[in-house]
């Protein structure tokens, strides 16, 4: 009788595994920062890599390696190896980003230890707001986990989020950069706490860029 119960339990667990129970994801920043990490992204992928992300805090601007490491485990705590890279991607918790095809997928399938990395560049439009409680989150096979989130913020010159940088974005940029005297982090592309020529140069360099 006991043997039958054990077999049933094993059978149920096997069926669950084959039914697509999502792996349990973990997400970590390679270099932790006390301040939010900002990454300048352009829909065609010509933005920055996470190895050259920016941090601004306490009056100091830094360029940091913010490569992300993700690890996947199954329900038994065993690393999930060789999980396909196209099923591991990043999103804004507040859905503030629009994606080009494969825009934020992992660098590679998970390795034998269940690990993969994200190093960018990311092919996205829209933009995240660090002041609104947003975060970057890991998505695995369509599933998310509240523990797999980091304070990394993707800013883009595609301000209207239609996957290209054109005249409508110029109008939006001028409003934020020029017409309104307030500071707008959305266009602080050279992330140093002020809006000046450096940010204009970044925006101008991205004009007419679009998803591949």
Contacts to Ca ion by CB under 5 A: 158, 160, 162, 164, 169, 188, 190, 192, 199
**Which of 93, 172 has the CB closer to Ca ion?**
172
**Which of 25, 127 has the CB closer to Ca ion?**
127
**Which of 91, 188 has the CB closer to Ca ion?**
188
Nearest distance from residue 159's CB to Ca ion, in Å? Answer: 6
**Which of 80, 128 has the CB closer to Ca ion?**
128
Q: Which of 25, 138, 107 is nearest to 73 (CA)?
A: 25
Nearest distance from residue 195's CB to Ca ion, in Å? Answer: 6
**Which of 74, 162 has the CB closer to Ca ion?**
162
Nearest distance from residue 118's CB to Ca ion, in Å? Answer: 24
Question: What's the rounded Cα separation, in Å, for the pair 1 and 6?
Answer: 9
**43: how many CB neighbours lie within 10 A of its CB?**
28
Q: Which of 70, 44, 38, 8 is nearest to 166 (CA)?
A: 44
φ, ψ for residue 193, nearest 5 deg: 85, 0
Question: What's the rounded Cα separation, in Å, for the pair 147 and 75?
Answer: 16
**Which of 83, 153 has the CB closer to Ca ion?**
153
């Amino acid at each position: 009788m006991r043997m039958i119960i054990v077999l049933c339990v094993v059978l149920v667990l096997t069926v669950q595994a084959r039914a697509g129970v999502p792996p349990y994801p973990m997400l970590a920043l390679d270099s932790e920062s006390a301040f939010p990490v900002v990454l300048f992204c352009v829909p065609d992928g010509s933005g920055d890599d996470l190895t050259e992300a920016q941090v601004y805090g306490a009056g100091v601007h830094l360029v940091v390696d913010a490569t992300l490491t993700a690890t996947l485990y199954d329900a038994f705590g065993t690393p999930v190896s060789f999980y396909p890279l196209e099923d591991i991607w990043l999103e804004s918790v507040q859905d503030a980003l629009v994606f080009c095809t494969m825009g934020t997928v992992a660098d590679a399938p998970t390795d034998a230890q269940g690990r993969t990395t994200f190093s960018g560049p990311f092919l996205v439009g829209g933009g995240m707001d660090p002041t609104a409680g947003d975060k970057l989150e890991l998505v695995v096979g369509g599933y998310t986990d509240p523990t797999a989130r980091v304070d990394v913020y993707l800013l883009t010159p595609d301000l209207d989020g239609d996957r290209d940088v054109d005249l409508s974005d110029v109008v939006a940029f001028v409003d934020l950069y020029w017409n309104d005297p307030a500071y707008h982090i959305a266009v602080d592309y050279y992330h140093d706490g002020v809006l000046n020529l450096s940010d204009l140069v970044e925006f101008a360099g991205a004009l007419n860029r679009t998803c591949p």
